[in-house]
Amino acid sequence: MSALEARLLVLTDRTLTGGRPLVDVVAAAVRGGARAVILREKDLTVAERAMLASGLRPIVNDAGGVLIVASDTTIPSDGVHLAAADPFPRDDRPAIVGRSCHSLAEVRAAQAEGCDYVTLSPIFASSSKPGYGPAIGLRDMRDIADEVTISIYALGGVDSTIAAICQRAGAAGVAVMGAVMCAEDPELRTHELTHEVRDCVCTVDLSASPAAEAIAR
């Protein structure tokens, strides 16, 4: 996957995994169908993040996906995800460049500078980042999507029950963090999400799951 084609972005946060190794949670998400993972963990040193990326990238790449690193083009990866204030990498541009946005003005600026996609947040109130807002809401997200051509990924308070609704409101896909990082079964939760955004690989055995009937529609 040389460009960002996935409709689901999984953002990492090892503080939300309940003590489980981040690599295990990401591997489970990949088994569930995740094909784009954004490595955050900005509190770590560059060397620590680089080591984590080196362990995660083969897991994602071997499944045909991409590992994107937040705010650092020096760490080997498949792309970079910029914070709102990060400078655009003009020299040696990564294959994939995304940016976090929170308004129409920021989305327009990201499109003009040449980003491949943006996350727009928070669409809804988020338990992963309480107090981060105000929430944009579906109506304003649709209005923003109508004004631009860049791919918008809805972020903030998104789970499998509303992922498809976000797409119908103009999002190219959804981005999630807590929904997968906190999940008791990240593989199943990711599969539910990929199914809802029509990016499902259906490699998970759901026969014994209470969610099987809903997912298999």
DSSP 32-101: TT--EEEE--TTS-HHHHHHHHHHHHHHHHHTT-EEEEET-SSS-SSEEEE-TTSPP--SS--S-EEEEE
Instruction: Round to whole Å and give the CA distance between 147 and 14.
Output: 35
Q: Has residue 173 been placed in a domain?
A: yes
Kindly give the interhelix angle for 22-31 and 46-62, rounded to the nearest 10 degrees: 20
Q: Has residue 158 been placed in a domain?
A: yes
Q: What number is the average pLDDT over the span 130-158?
A: 91
Q: Has residue 209 been placed in a domain?
A: yes
Q: Has residue 208 been placed in a domain?
A: yes
Q: Give the pLDDT band of residue 214 (cuts 50, 70, 90).
A: very low
**pLDDT surpassing 90 at residue 16:** yes
Q: Has residue 159 been placed in a domain?
A: yes
Instruction: Round to whole Å and give the CA distance between 43 and 199.
Output: 31
**pLDDT surpassing 80 at residue 131:** no
Higher pLDDT, 202 or 25: 25
**pLDDT surpassing 90 at residue 3:** no
Task: Look at 99-108, 130-139, 143-152, 192-201 and tell me which has the smallest mean pLDDT.
Answer: 130-139
- Strand 79-82 to 97-101 pairing: parallel
Q: What number is the average pLDDT over the span 36-53?
A: 98
What's the pTM value of the predicted model, to 2 decimals?
0.89
Q: Can you give the pLDDT at residue 65?
A: 97
Q: Has residue 60 been placed in a domain?
A: yes
Q: What number is the average pLDDT over the span 106-134?
A: 87
Q: Give the pLDDT band of residue 1 (cuts 50, 70, 90).
A: very low
Cβ-contact 74, 80 below 8 angstroms: no
- Give the domain extent around 46: 8-215
Q: Has residue 108 been placed in a domain?
A: yes
Q: Give the pLDDT band of residue 134 (cuts 50, 70, 90).
A: confident
Query: What's the domain count of the chain?
Result: 1
Q: What is the CATH number of the domain that holds 95?
A: 3.20.20.70
